[in-house]
């Protein structure tokens, strides 16, 4: 109070000391509010706080505090002075920072796994529906080839559109933390991006793989290990590349509504040039690069 020590000790000792000095305390009061009110400096009651500080100097609590200070001072003299002023601390390595940031990103995904789980369940239900609808239709006929093209479009499209739009919400939520860490020189853009990719990689591998296996089995496509592995690899690459492009758009455009508006013509171009609605060989040479 007023730059002086009124008491040093635990809360029970403080209440006993204030009670002995003429500041009664009742059980209905909050101890913290009671102590603050007792030490409050009021213009016409400054002497009360000064009397508390003077009374404290004549108690055993004050002697105990002084002995503690003397012991700490004596111990400080035994410490090597070079250790007290040592400032050449080693910064964590690049790999250590990447490991820590990746672990933090992975934990955030685990804590909020409901979205990821719901996305996988939705994907499996969609694959089940598609497999039931197309089952038995893929044959060596014109209608069978059309059904096969539809299955291929579904395998690619369902790993393209959801991934690219889901990634729009992932990066903006973490930007405030990244900006603070970047200002403190504890994080870099490359570590931030790579840690997000590594933390999302397990889901980005399991999601398209399980969807492809389910659709491939239900639609009774030709069973060949090489073809099956190539199909799984293509769908995994489609999802990961789409998610990477979605992260790029969310980083370049902070507002999600604007980013979605920019992605709409890209999505439409993909649908038109996918080969399902028009023959790719009929596309003019000036537009063939968009395939």
pLDDT digits (tens, 9 = 90+) for 160-191: 888 888 888 778 888 888 888 888 778 888 88
Q: What is the pLDDT of residue 43?
A: 44
Tokens for 173, please give them.
């939520």
Q: Are 217 and 132 in contact (CB under 8 A)?
A: no
Q: What is the pLDDT of residue 276?
A: 66
CB atoms closer than 10 angstroms to residue 204:
20
Task: Compute CA 56 distance to the chain's CA centroid, rounded to the nearest angstrom.
Answer: 51
pLDDT digits (tens, 9 = 90+) for 113-149: 777 788 888 888 888 888 888 887 777 778 878 888 8
Q: Does the pTM of the predicted model rise above 0.75?
A: no
Task: Please give the average pLDDT of every successive group of 10 residues along the chain, which has 291 residues.
Answer: 69 77 73 73 58 75 77 61 56 84 85 78 86 80 80 83 81 84 83 87 88 86 85 90 85 81 80 72 77 66
Helix 113-134 vs helix 142-157: crossing angle, to nearest 10: 180
């Amino acid at each position: 109070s007023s730059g002086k020590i009124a008491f040093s000790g635990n809360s029970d000792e403080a209440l006993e000391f204030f009670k002995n000095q003429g500041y009664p305390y009742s059980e209905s009061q909050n101890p913290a509010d009671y102590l603050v009110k007792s030490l409050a400096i009021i213009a016409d009651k400054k002497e009360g706080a000064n009397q508390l500080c003077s009374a404290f100097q004549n108690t055993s609590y004050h002697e105990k505090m002084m002995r503690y200070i003397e012991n700490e001072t004596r111990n400080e003299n035994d410490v090597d002075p070079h250790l007290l002023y040592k400032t050449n601390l080693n910064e964590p390595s690049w790999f250590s920072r990447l490991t820590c940031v990746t672990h933090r990103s992975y934990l955030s995904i685990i804590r909020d796994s409901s979205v990821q789980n719901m996305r996988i369940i939705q994907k499996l239900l969609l694959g089940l529906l598609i497999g039931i609808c197309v089952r038995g239709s893929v044959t060596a006929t014109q209608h069978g080839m059309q059904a096969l093209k539809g299955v291929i479009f579904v395998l690619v499209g369902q790993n393209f559109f959801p991934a690219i739009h889901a990634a729009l919400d992932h990066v903006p939520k973490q930007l405030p933390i990244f900006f603070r860490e970047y200002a403190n020189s504890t994080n870099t853009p490359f570590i931030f991006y790579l840690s997000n990719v590594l933390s999302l990689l397990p889901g980005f591998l399991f999601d398209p793989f399980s969807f492809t296996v389910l659709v491939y089995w239900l639609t009774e496509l030709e069973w060949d290990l090489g073809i099956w592995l190539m199909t799984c690899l293509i769908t995994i690459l489609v999802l990961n590349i789409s998610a990477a492009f979605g992260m790029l758009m969310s980083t370049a455009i902070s507002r999600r509504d604007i980013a979605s508006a920019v992605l709409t013509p890209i999505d439409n171009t993909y649908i038109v040039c996918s080969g399902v609605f028009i023959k790719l060989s009929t596309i003019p040479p000036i537009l063939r690069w968009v395939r």
